[in-house]
């Protein structure tokens, strides 16, 4: 009984320390990573009051940390394809998440209201991402690196399966919530379809990858259960200027809602997909000058990320907006992921100009 009591005391102490660390981190971010002045109210300049149209301005910045994890997995995939998981810098990836969260929180607090749900989501995924990357890094840089050494430059069938899964997962994340990825199905296929050739590396990969897939499957099931109470809205509405309803209706994935007016001009309210679908819509408008976006979900500012070499400041300045962070990309040394607070009315022309200058428009973070 005394041994059980000691174990319970130790577990309780561990939980208390974790709770203090988590609470302290949240308090620090909510105190340090905020602007000096409160965020202003933001409403549609066209007086649009349709249900679900107006979204929180600050959330365009606070959605970036979620996407940071998507980008981190793309980095992990590229590094794994080039060498192995053991060469990925897991601690740097963790640091990048928290650094970007601070920058995003600070800009959101100055730009406009943000939702409590988005803030809570960022902390939940932040701590889970930290735990996942830390445990993966500890394992891959020790035992994983050792078994990789025994295999030399040759990838096992297990390595090839995991690399294919990482590539599929990275693509999947650009349009679909991560917890909908079929980890359980992949685990079954891993054992059913991957040929086993006995070696130290093959045995180790079988065990470690099975544990990873099973753990993610269980966590994803929990997240699907929670998300079922508040499913993500996969569409968004915007006001487009200098385009006719007929021109917009002819564009793939665009639904014309109605024409709208304000004192400053005329526009067309449209509905499109979010995420990658919205990025494609921005690019499509850029191919139909002088089309422009006048507001998106009732907002006048949006966060975009650009992939650019270190010496690209002149092209970035020409696009307008304000740079709020620069993050290194492990899989592309010498390049940076640059976050820009861009006025909505400059979004279409700014993206077109950046791509014409040879830079890569990566994503517009659509609330």
Give 173-210 pLDDT, tens digit per residue: 887 888 899 999 999 999 999 999 999 999 999 999 99
Q: Which of 77, 79, 70 is nearest to 333 (CA)?
A: 79
Asked whether residue 15 carries a pLDDT value surpassing 80, the answer given is no
Question: Residue 299: its pLDDT value, please?
Answer: 97
Which residue shows structure tokens 């000691």? 6
Q: Which of 338, 295, 279, 288 is nearest to 103 (CA)?
A: 338
Question: Residue 82: its pLDDT value, please?
Answer: 93
Question: Residue 4: its pLDDT value, please?
Answer: 67
Q: What is the mean pLDDT of residues 358-365?
A: 94
Taking the C-alpha atoms of residue 298 and residue 236, their distance in angstroms, rounded to an integer, is 10
Q: What is the mean pLDDT of residues 300-324?
A: 87
% of the chain beyond a pLDDT of 90: 77
Question: Residue 46: its pLDDT value, please?
Answer: 96
Domain ranges of the chain: 57-227, 235-365
Question: Residue 178: its pLDDT value, please?
Answer: 87
Distances (CA, A) of 282 to 258, 278, 348: 19, 6, 6
Q: What is the mean pLDDT of residues 13-28?
A: 80
Question: Residue 74: its pLDDT value, please?
Answer: 93
Instruction: State the chain's mean pLDDT as an integer.
Output: 92
Question: Residue 232: its pLDDT value, please?
Answer: 74
Q: What is the mean pLDDT of residues 119-133?
A: 93
Question: Residue 140: its pLDDT value, please?
Answer: 97
Which run of H or of E encompasses 264? none
Taking the C-alpha atoms of residue 359 and residue 365, their distance in angstroms, rounded to an integer, is 18
Question: Residue 223: its pLDDT value, please?
Answer: 85
Question: Residue 319: its pLDDT value, please?
Answer: 77
Which residue shows structure tokens 């998507």? 70
> Which residues make beta-bridge pairs with 267?
260
Taking the C-alpha atoms of residue 68 and residue 101, their distance in angstroms, rounded to an integer, is 9
Per-residue pLDDT tens digits for 223-266 = 888 776 567 788 999 999 999 999 999 999 999 999 999 877 89
Which residue shows structure tokens 């526009």? 267
Asked whether residue 212 carries a pLDDT value surpassing 90, the answer given is yes
Look up the pTM and report it.
Answer: 0.88
Q: What is the mean pLDDT of residues 34-49?
A: 89
Q: What is the mean pLDDT of residues 117-127?
A: 93
Asked whether residue 340 carries a pLDDT value surpassing 90, the answer given is yes
Question: Residue 320: its pLDDT value, please?
Answer: 81
Question: Residue 108: its pLDDT value, please?
Answer: 95
pLDDT top residue among 227 and 131 = 131
Question: Residue 173: its pLDDT value, please?
Answer: 86
Question: Residue 10: its pLDDT value, please?
Answer: 67
Question: Residue 272: its pLDDT value, please?
Answer: 98
Question: Residue 14: its pLDDT value, please?
Answer: 66
């Amino acid at each position: 009984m005394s041994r059980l009591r000691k174990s319970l005391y130790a577990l309780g102490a561990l939980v208390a320390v974790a709770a203090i660390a988590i609470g302290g981190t949240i308090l620090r971010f909510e105190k340090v990573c905020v602007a000096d002045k409160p965020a202003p109210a933001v409403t549609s300049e066209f007086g649009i009051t349709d249900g679900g149209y107006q979204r929180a301005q600050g959330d365009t910045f606070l959605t970036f940390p979620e996407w940071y994890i998507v980008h981190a997995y793309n980095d992990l995939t590229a590094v794994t394809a080039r060498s192995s998981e053991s060469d990925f810098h897991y601690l740097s990836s963790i640091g990048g998440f928290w650094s970007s969260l601070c920058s995003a929180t600070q800009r959101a607090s100055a730009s406009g209201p943000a939702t409590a749900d988005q803030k809570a989501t960022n902390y939940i995924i932040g701590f889970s991402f930290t735990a996942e990357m830390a445990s993966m890094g500890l394992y891959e840089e020790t035992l994983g690196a050792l078994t990789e050494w025994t295999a030399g430059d040759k990838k096992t069938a297990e390595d090839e399966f995991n690399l294919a899964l990482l590539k599929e997962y990275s693509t999947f994340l650009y349009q679909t919530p991560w917890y909908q990825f079929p980890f359980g199905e992949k685990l079954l296929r891993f054992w059913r379809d991957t040929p086993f050739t006995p070696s130290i590396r093959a045995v180790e990969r079988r065990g470690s990858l099975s544990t990873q897939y099973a753990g993610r499957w269980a966590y994803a099931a929990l997240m699907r259960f929670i998300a079922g109470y508040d499913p993500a809205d996969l569409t968004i509405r915007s006001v487009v200027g200098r385009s006719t309803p007929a021109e917009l209706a002819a564009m793939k994935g665009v639904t014309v809602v109605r024409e709208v007016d304000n004192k400053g001009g005329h526009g067309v309210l449209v509905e499109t997909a979010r995420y990658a679908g919205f990025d494609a819509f921005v690019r499509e408008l850029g191919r139909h000058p002088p089309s422009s976006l006048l507001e998106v979900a009732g907002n006048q500012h949006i966060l975009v990320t650009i992939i650019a070499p270190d010496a690209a400041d002149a092209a970035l300045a020409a696009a307008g907006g304000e740079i709020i962070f620069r993050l290194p990309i492990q899989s592309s040394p010498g390049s940076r992921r640059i976050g820009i607070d861009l006025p909505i009315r400059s979004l279409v022309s700014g993206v077109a100009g950046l791509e014409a200058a040879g830079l890569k428009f990566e994503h517009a973070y659509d609330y």
